[in-house]
Amino acid sequence: MPTYTEHVTRVITEDIEHAALGTVAVLTFAPPEGQERRPATLGPQSIQAVTGAINAALDRAEAGELGAIALTGTGKVFLAGADLSMFADPSAAERVEEMTRAAHDLQVRVRASAAPILAHLNGAAPGGGLEVALMADVRTAVPGARGIGLPETGLGILPGWGGTTLLQSVVGPEVAVRMILEDPTRDRLLSAQQALEAGLVDALAEDLPAALEEFAAIVAARADSAEAVRAADGADAAVPSYARPLPPADSPEAEALHDALDAPLPTGETRRAWAARMEAQGAPAAARALELLQQLPGSELTDALARESAALGQLVRSDGAKASLYSAEMLRRGKPGRTPVEGAREITRVGVAGAGLMAAQIAAQLALGLQVPVIMRDLDQGIAQKGLAAAREVIAQTAARGSLDETTATRIAELLDATTDVADLAGCDLVLEAVPEVLAIKKSVFGELEGVLDPEALLVTNTSSLSVSAMAADLQHPQRVVGLHFFNPVAKMPLVEVIHTDATDEATLATGLEVVRRLRKFAVRSADAPGFIVNRLLFRVLGEVLASLDAGADPVEVNTSLDPLGLPMRPLALLDLVGHAVADHVGKVLVQELGDRFHASPGLSAMVERKVRFTESRRGSVQPEVSPVVAEVFAPDGTGSAQAPVGEALLDRVLEGLAEEIALMLDADVVERVEDVDLALILGAGFPRHRGGITPYLDSSGAALSGAGRTFHGNRFASGTDS
């Protein structure tokens, strides 16, 4: 039963007169009346409105009524592409096929028409919005426009309304391949200036009148150029044609396209090899797009568009697309809001207890986000000053990247200070502790702070695994304690777990959420439970891996067993990143708190004692290789065990274990919604978006039923066409 309600984009048509162009039909894409804050998007009715309006303008041009057509948008959006909420509807695949036919028919028609078309990008033009702009002969953009590109392969689909087929004819093979395959993996869209440098837009123009002037000049120059070629080479000379956008077979353009598809990535892996690896991990979109690009040379436009349509139709039905689009919508809804959190207290001064690496990173982000005085306190004067210097260096690096001007950077750096005297924290509205992960130390810090702070000032902990309730147990005002678990590196990691205890009052929780919002990070709420969300689930995974090693499994086989899941790094490299002592400590704590579902590894403890790493980096290797020392530590007699799970058996254990643990967390109200789990794993642990984080994959793979006795999303993620 259809559940999708479309917000239908309007197309406002107005004729204006231009000295050089004659009568110009200006088609403005706008959101529904009364919904001006929404972007104009493309659903089934909207695509009919857009293509219908352009077709009507073409009819008028061919009848001699118009000299040109101009397309533009409203506010800061040209046209925002497909409405992602449409993809949750069961009829999405059929709707997309209808929309694709309409877009392709128009892509063919505009190239057969003599009417010149301008697309003036007044703002963002992602995905289908850019594909509509590719229908134009000339593209201009306002200098401040951002959000121009083709993010589709990152959504588990591909640019299927002409983008995969036509982009290379505008920007050249190398830039087109990068925009279609690589940029989506980095969430990279272009600014107007970058689009100009890439050749995607022809000129920058402040507004539509200026754009029309540029348009008229470009059209005239192209006509003069074509006439000059014909005069020099004869009337039948081949002139580069917008009507013939595909490279001939065996041409230099075809060779350049194929070279771009086989070009190496920064990791050393070729684009083709990377796309094949991603397909094996359940993300086939890049491989499908690469195949389409490979087939372009020598093709007719209609044939290439037919292949594009077929590939898009297949991908829309795939597990990877369903999960990727779920992730995209979840990330959209979870991003920091524009309005303050209701009930939050005002924050005018902040303290940080501790001045180590993590404390300095957090202090810098608090100064950047809140722009209030931030004072760091450590017992050691040298450490305090070193931490202050490190925090100010973060500000300097932010300015060096262009995110701040020098004046603002200097002002924010001056908001930071350091001290050894706890009394200097008096007057702070919030103090965050970032001292060593030892409960007794954290309790002592909170006790000392309570003696100097106002009773309503927040006490915040950055603990990653300790009980927040235990920290607050001996305080006079436990209701003002909340956890803000930042992830390392703080500047880059977008997630903060917001931990509330049974005693935390509403104003404290609201203020914690408001701090995270002002830092422009994603907040996911968790009850005070061992490991919270990310570490609890991450160590359920690592526990199974270490248990297999402790049972004598081959370390190389163990390390590759989770590859189908598509994690950003293999488990033994992850253990090196987390730190062996930290992993050993957290594993033991979780066993103590949650029981033998978790695993305290004797082998890991031995690795800590020997101070050796699990992996070794090798030149030319995409993933670090397993160190021979692992086998020596975990199987010192040189014999392994055939019974220890590896490969599919270990992957099954991991997936079923995750399903079990997530169900337990939901039942115990550690998290309110299953989407919170997926959001936390994507942003805090790098779980792949094409798996939807994890729960869509658990449903589609059957692990949810076998591990938890239920699915997490009903039948929404019943298996499609990829695994």
The string of pLDDT tens digits covering residues 160-171 is 999 999 999 999
* Joined tokens for residue 592: 């103590």
Predicted confidence (pLDDT) per residue in 492-531, tens digit: 999 999 999 999 999 999 999 999 999 999 999 999 999 9
To the nearest 10 degrees (0 to 180), the angle between helices 674-685 and 319-334 is: 90
According to DSSP H, which parts of 338-438 are helical? 357-370, 381-400, 406-415
pLDDT tier at 342, thresholds 50, 70, 90: very high
Q: Could you tell me which residues come within 8 angstroms of residue 310 by beta carbon, excluding any fewer than 6 positions away?
A: none
pLDDT over 70 at 277, yes or no: yes
* CA separation for the pair 555, 360 (Å, rounded): 37
**High-pLDDT (> 70) share of the chain, %:** 95
- Cβ atoms of 26 and 43 within 8 Å: the answer is no
**May I ask the CATH class of domain 534-708?**
mainly alpha
- Beta strands 625-626 and 615-616 are antiparallel
293 vs 271: CA distance, rounded Å? 12
State the average pLDDT over residues 231-253: 69
21-35, 220-234, 254-268: the lowest-pLDDT one: 220-234
Residue 628: CB atoms within 10 A of its CB come to 9
Phi-psi region of 354 (alpha: psi -120 to 50; beta: other; left: phi over 0): left
Active-site position among 17, 36, 131, 632: 131
Written as one letter, the residue type at 536 is R
- Tell me the pLDDT tens digit for each residue of 558-593: 999 999 999 989 999 999 998 999 899 999 999 999
Report residue 255's pLDDT band, with 50, 70 and 90 as the boundaries.
very high
**What is residue 328's predicted lDDT score, i.e. its pLDDT?**
93
- Indicate if 433 belongs to the active site: no
Contact (CB, 8 A) for 657 and 540: yes
In three-state secondary structure terms, 185 is helix
CA-CA distance, 134 to 114, in Å (whole number)?
16
DSSP string, 198-263: HTSSSEE-SSHHHHHHHHHHHHHHHHHHHHHHHHHH-TT-----TT--SPPTTSHHHHHHHHHHTP
**Cα 375 from Cα 219, distance rounded (Å):** 60
Mean per-residue pLDDT, 360-386: 97
Give the other-Cβ count within 10 Å of 618's Cβ.
10
Note if the bond before 688 is cis, omega within 30 degrees: no
**Residue 386 neighbours by CB under 8 Å, 6+ apart:** 355
Within 8 A by CB and 6+ apart from 99, the residues are 42, 43, 44, 47, 82, 161
Interstrand relation of 481-486 and 495-500 (parallel, antiparallel or unpaired): antiparallel
The secondary structure of the chain in percent helix, strand, coil, rounded to multiples of 5, reads: 50, 10, 35
Among the listed residues 62, 152, 206, 450, the single catalytic one is: 152
- Is residue 6 part of the annotated active site? The answer reads no
For residue range 47-76, what is the model confidence (pLDDT) as tens digits? 999 999 999 999 999 999 999 999 999 999
Between CA 310 and CA 100 the distance in angstroms is 10
3-class secondary structure, 377:
strand
Indicate the angle between helix axes 580-594 and 602-610, nearest 10 degrees.
150
Query: pLDDT at position 238, please?
Result: 42
Query: What sign for the dihedral angle of Cα 193, 199, 205, 207?
Result: negative
Share of residues in the chain with pLDDT > 90 (%): 88
Q: Are 320 and 286 in contact (CB under 8 A)?
A: no
Number of CB atoms found within 10 A of residue 232's CB: 8
- Tens digits of per-residue pLDDT, 459-503? 999 999 899 999 999 999 999 999 999 999 999 999 999 999 999
Instruction: Map out the domains of the chain as residue ranges.
Output: 10-206+243-317, 350-520, 534-708
Provide the β-strand partners of residue 522: 495
SS3 for 25-67, per residue? EEEEEECCCCCCCCCCCECHHHHHHHHHHHHHHHHHHHCCCCC
Q: CA angle at residue 195 from 126 to 493, to 5 degrees?
A: 60
Cα–Cα distance for residue pair 387/356, rounded to 1 Å: 6
Average confidence (pLDDT) over 247-264 = 95
The yes-or-no verdict on residue 720 having pLDDT over 60 is no
Q: Alpha-carbon distance 312 to 82, whole Å?
A: 13
pLDDT value, residue 723: 46
Determine the pLDDT at residue 264.
94
Judged against a pLDDT cut of 80, whether residue 225 lies above it is answered with no
| Residue 351: strand pairing partners | 375, 431
Question: What superfamily does domain 10-206+243-317 belong to in CATH?
Answer: 2-enoyl-CoA Hydratase; Chain A, domain 1 (3.90.226.10)
pLDDT in tens, 635-653: 776 555 668 999 999 999 9
DSSP conformation class of 627: P
* Phi, psi of 627, rounded to the nearest 5 degrees: -75, 140
Weakest mean pLDDT among 117-131, 581-595, 612-626: 612-626
Could you tell me the strand order of the sheet in which 416-419 lies?
A: 416-419, 374-377, 350-353, 430-433, 458-461, 481-486, 495-500, 522-527
Least confident stretch, 264-268, 427-431, 647-651: 264-268
Side-chain half-sphere CA neighbours of 87 within 13 A: 28
Report the pLDDT value the prediction gives residue 90, as an integer from 0 to 100. 79
The band of 86, judged by pLDDT with boundaries at 50, 70 and 90, is confident
- Asked whether the predicted pLDDT for residue 102 surpasses 50, the reply is yes
Position 239 scores a pLDDT of 40
How far from the centroid of its chain's Cα atoms is residue 643's Cα?
39
- Angle, helix 252-261 to helix 285-295, in steps of 10 degrees: 160
Per DSSP, the three-state class of 78 is: coil
Q: Give buried/exposed letters for 556-578 (b at 16+ CB in 10 A, else e).
A: ebbbbbbebbbbeebbbbbbbeb
Residue linked to tokens 């980096």: 617
350-520 and 534-708 share one fold: no
Mean pLDDT of 303-323: 95
Name which of 186, 188, 185, 189 is nearest 277 in CA terms: 185
CATH architecture of 350-520: 3-Layer(aba) Sandwich (3.40)
